[in-house]
Amino acid sequence: MVQPFFEHWQGPAGELSGWVAVHGASDVNEANRLADDIVLNGLAIVESRLDVSVLERLCPALPEQFAAYAADSKRPSSDGGDTRVRLKPDCPDLEPLFRDELLLTIAARVLRKPFALRYLVSRTVHPTATCQSLHMDCDVGTGPSQLLAFIWMLDAFDKNNGATQFIPGSHRGSPAGSPVLATGPVGSLIIYDRAILHGYTPNQSNADRRSIQGGFDPITEG
């Protein structure tokens, strides 16, 4: 686990305070709106958020260049549809992915308590991958938005290349509704409650669909 974020964050519920903040009223309004979307629907999407210079450093590189040293850092799925690689968060090229100001401000607004980076992985959905079963990363009932995750699109997410689908409201135990496909151009950001039902769709293209994903957990005392 890396150095906690907002370790001195003492603002009341909903207040955007701490050592990371967005600048300008419009940015604060956007952060509040996106945080409200996550609380209500379970996810929010920010299009084309990642700086081009960051993409230029990350996209040509193989995931192994940023992989953790552990022998089990690379993990293909049992059906071969996708591959996950655990990444080293202390790599400078990766810092913009979990220190993005808007991302951290939204996380503080949703979690409302100090939090830390729990994991950082690259994920590649391969051509011919079939539909992933809808699943939750944690159980409903652990508390509203106690665990938060994010996905950076290193390739565009579209209806043909395995974009992730979500069931809005399922993180609150709402009856299952229709899935929503999270699409966006390269560099877009998805932030979601890890109790929401989700899973990638079939990759019917002839190319890998790549992303980098991470998660924030509240810091518990004791």
User: What confidence tens digit (pLDDT) does each residue in 31-87 have?
Assistant: 999 999 999 999 999 999 998 888 888 887 766 667 766 556 777 776 778 899 998
Q: How many domains does the chain have?
A: 1
d(CA 25, CA 174): 33
Q: Which domain holds residue 199?
A: 25-218
The larger pLDDT score, comparing residue 21 to residue 54, is at 54
Q: What is the CATH number of the domain that holds 136?
A: 2.60.120.620
Please state at what angle helix 25-41 crosses helix 101-111, rounded to 10 degrees: 50
Which SS3 state, helix, strand or coil, does residue 219 take?
coil
Read off the pTM: 0.85
d(CA 153, CA 123): 10
**Torsion from C-alpha of 82, 88, 92, 98, nearest 10 degrees:** 70
Largest CA distance in the chain: 50
pLDDT reading at 142 higher than 60:
no
Inside any domain, residue 39: yes
Inside any domain, residue 140: yes
Inside any domain, residue 48: yes
